[in-house]
Structure formats: C-alpha cells, structure tokens
Chain A
Amino acid sequence: MRTGAGDLSVSAPSVAASTILPHVTIRGLTKRFGSAVIYNKFDLDIPRGKLISVFGPNGCGKSTLINMIAGLTPSDGGEVLFDGKPLHAIKFGYVFQNYREALFPWLRSIDNIEYPLKLMKLPKAERRARTERLIANLGVKIDLNRYPYELSGGQQQLVSIMRALVVEPEILFLDEPFSALDYEMTLFMREQLQRIFVETGTTTVLVSHDLEEAVYLADRILLLSRGPALIADYVSYDAVRPRTDATLSEIEFVKIKAHCLEVFQREVRKG
C-alpha cells in the first residue's frame, strides 16, 4: 500500500524501527531572532514514511522548525540532510496555513496544481497526465476548472495539498493546514490527509495546534519545549490506519493524548 515507504523497510522488515536509517537528519540546528535563541544545537531524526506531528506551546518555534527544514527560513547554523542530500537535491511539498494567499487566484485550480510541474519544465501533456493520475488516486471530486476563490476553504486547501503532492515529493510539510477552517471542514480534511498519507506513504511533517488532531494523525508526536526549543518528548503512536472516530475513544489513544497533554502543560508552566 505504502508505495513510497522506501527499500530499507521492505528489505529488512524484521529489523527494529530504531535501526532503520532515518529519512531526515537534523544536526546542530541553531536559530536566533534578535537576542532570543529559538533553537540551540537542535538534533532530530525524522523516520521514513511516517507522519510526524509537531506540537508545543505558542511561540516555541513549531513553524520555524519546519520552515527551516523546508528552507523558507534561513537557519543560523547546523545542517538538515535528506538521505544525506541537501534540500535543493530533493523534491518536497509545502502546504501553507493561509491557502487563500498561497494559491494563485489568476490560475484555475487545475493550473495551480500543475504550476510546480511547469516550473520543472515538463511538457503540457505530461503535466496533465500526472495531474489526472493524482486526482484519480485521491478520488477528488471538486470541479478543478474553477478558480480557487470560487471554492470553499476546505476545497482550496485540498487544491493546495494537491499542488504540493503533484511533484511526487519525498517529504511533505504542512504548517497548521486546517486551522483556518471551521470544525466540520477540519474533520473532513483530517480524513482527506489521512487518506492521502495511506495512499502515498510520503514522509509527512505536520505542525498542529490541536492536540487531538496531532495524535490522531501521527505515527510520532514531537513535543517541543519553549526557548530554546528542545525535544520534550517524541512519542510513538502505532494505532492501525485508517483510524476513525472510534479511534478517539480507544484506551491507547486516550492514554497517549493524556501523556502529551501532561508534557505540554509542564512545558507551558516552565515558560
């Protein structure tokens, strides 16, 4: 099912997860804003083909972390490698919180999705073919000939996610992608994201400000502390997918959520 899970895990299924080479290695990452040290020699491994949620107190630098990994924000030191390669050597997708400002309103939704392929100088026919394939794989039923501003918020964010996925990225970053949506749409989009993850098996890093969402979607929850950010905990959650509403009341889910909340509260009090 997980086509992009990588050869290592396939060829050595018996090896414990900890010995599998991580997808992303972050070493000595440092970031200052003025005199405030946000990250000081920060180390982190991101496992391949997993969905990682990043959760922590306000202002701890959740978004800054993925922005540095994705090259949107320059770091003041340290390195981030993807299978030993630098960022510019890999394909990645990034989904912004503000879909309204991230999509191009002068392009139809379908052309928005194809835009990164255009930047890759793929011929028109191939661009269309790849987009059609993605639409079919995800089972998207939106009229993509409409302009983004003619779609609902959730649909716009879905277009945004498709634009990130169309390049078949090795890693997908999402910065609080559903926080601008109403609750109903948020629930729907969580399912969409889970489906996309199960379909593609792309390594995914999700910044979330909603603990339930962070745990529900994640294989691992990265809990950050405040200033400078440290790994407060890096919790594994192995419930089978697809997870459903019933998952939310399972003992394991409740236990892990409670644990994360405890760590979170402790960090908030410290700050």
Chain B
Amino acid sequence: MKRINLDSYLPMVGVIGLILLWYIAVWCRVVDPILLPSPTDTFAALYKGMTGGRLGFDFWRTVERTTMATLIAAIIAIPLGIVLGSSERLYRSVEFVIDFFRSTPASAMFPLFLVLFGVGDATKISVAAFGAALVILFNVAYGVMNARKTRLLAARVMGASRLRVLTDVMLLESLPATFVGLRNGVSLALVIIVVAEMFIGSTDGLGHRVFEAQQLFRMADMYAAIFSAGALGYGLNLLFLLVERKFVHWSGK
C-alpha cells in the first residue's frame, strides 16, 4: 500500500531535482543573475502575472486562439479524413499533396497568409489551423484505412450496408487514430500560435509576453511566460488524453 503511494509521487523527483539544480546554479552564480533569476523570483512573477497581471490575460488569449485553430482544423479535417480514408485509391491520389504540405514548416506560410488575411487574429489562427488540419487529416485517414479487415468483414457478413459499415465500424475504428491526430494537431497549433504572437504585429498572447519580457530584460517575467506556455501545452495534451480515455475506452486493448 505504502509503496504504491510513493510510486505515484515519482514524477515529482524530476521536478524537485530541476528546481534544486536551478537554486544551486543561482547560489553558485554559474550564470549571470540578470539572465537567470532565482526560482522564487520566477514563481512570484508567475503567480503575480497569472492573478490579475498581464500574463493571465495573454495566457487566455493564446488559449482562445489555439482552441479556435484546433476547432477549425478538426471540423475540416475529420470529415475530410473519413471521406479520403474510406477509399484507398482516393487517398493515394492526394497523398503526395498532403504529405508535402504536412512536411512544409507552417511558419513558412505566414507571409502568404498575411497577404490573404491581413495583420490580425485571422492570420494567426488560419496558419495554425492549416498546420493542425493536415496532421489531423493524415491520422484520421490512416485510422479509417487501417480499420481491422476482420471487423469490417464481420459487419458485412451480418448484413451491414456500406453506409452502416462506415458509421458503425470504420468511424469507431478510426477514433484512436483521430485522437492521436487531435493531440498532435493541438500541440502544433500552439507552437504556431506562440510564434505568430511573437512577430506578426501582436499586442497580446503568450508569444508576445515572452518576447516583450525579453526585450525589456524582465527575465523573471520571461521565464514565467515560458512556464505558463509549457503548462498550457502539457495541459492541452492531458485534456485530450483524458477525453480519449473516457470515450475511446477500448484504445490499445
């Protein structure tokens, strides 16, 4: 009983180790204290920023944009992925285009999207949605294509029509892969949004906060913003994992 309790705290070892190392580095002045504030200062800045400071506002702006981008990507990519995946020949004919743009760094598309959508939220969200959509599309299509042949056959042999096979078997078979796509997609969307917030005429968002703190040489604020971005990425991933575990209970079984 006691062992199990202790084991569940194992992930804390790395966290505590890192903070200790950080304290030691600060005390021994390994790095210039202006570049590396103490953990205490950083967490104070994080707390202050998140409770009523600018950081909290910027954090939610980034959440908003990332959610928007992922939502748009999912709405476009999931149905499209199902259609493409249900016909292997159809997918093969567009596979190269999808793989090509999936391999293109989405950041390279900023100038193009700036021309299309102007300097504003529309550009940031659409570039992120573009990147995320391709990742989701790819995973959904493969999920549908890799549906277990026996399961499709079993449905067919019981008299299921093509449409029933699609809705009753293929869709559910592709759910685990769809969630992989959503998790990768939301991570990518966050990366793109944060980068966009740094450079494209932004006045808010976590990217903007990190960049501004660095410009003003407020290192504690900068680290606080970085940590909150990390927490956001981790939290989004965790959220999708929990939703997946709830709705795709058979995944991996």
Q: Chain A interface (Cβ within 8 Å of chain B)?
A: 70-72, 94, 96, 98, 101-106, 115-116, 119-120, 147, 149, 163, 167
Majority secondary structure, A binding face: loop
Q: Is the CB of A105 within 8 A of B169?
A: no
Instruction: Give, as a whole number of angstroms, the nearest-CB distance from A68 to chain B.
Output: 13
Q: Please, could you name 8 A-B residue pairs with CB atoms under 8 Å apart, sorted by A?
A: A72-B156, A101-B150, A104-B168, A115-B168, A119-B158, A119-B160, A147-B249, A149-B250
Q: Is the CB of B154 within 8 A of A96?
A: yes
CA distance A138 to B250 in the complex (A): 28
Given A116-B159, A119-B160: A104 touches B253 (CB 8 Å cut-off): no
Number of chain B residues close to chain A: CB under 8 A: 19
Instruction: Return the contact of B157 from the options A70, A103, A104, A120 (Cβ within 8 A).
Output: A70
Quick one: which of B168-219 are within 8 Å of A by CB?
168-169, 172, 175
Quick one: which of B125-183 are within 8 Å of A by CB?
148, 150-151, 153-154, 156-160, 164, 168-169, 172, 175
Instruction: Give, as a whole number of angstroms, the nearest-CB distance from A47 to chain B.
Output: 23
CA distance A119 to B168 in the complex (A): 10
**Chain B 224-253 per-residue mask, 1 if CB under 8 angstroms from chain A, else 0:** 000000000000000000000000111001
Q: Is the CB of B148 within 8 A of A72?
A: no
- Pick from A101, A106, A116, A163 the residue with the most CB of B within 10 Å: A106
B164 CB contacts on chain A under 8 angstroms: 119
Q: Is the CB of B153 within 8 A of A72?
A: yes
Q: Is the CB of B150 within 8 A of A98?
A: yes
Q: Is the CB of B172 within 8 A of A104?
A: yes
Given A116-B159, A119-B164: A102 touches B154 (CB 8 Å cut-off): yes
CA distance A105 to B160 in the complex (A): 17
B249 CB contacts on chain A under 8 angstroms: 106, 147
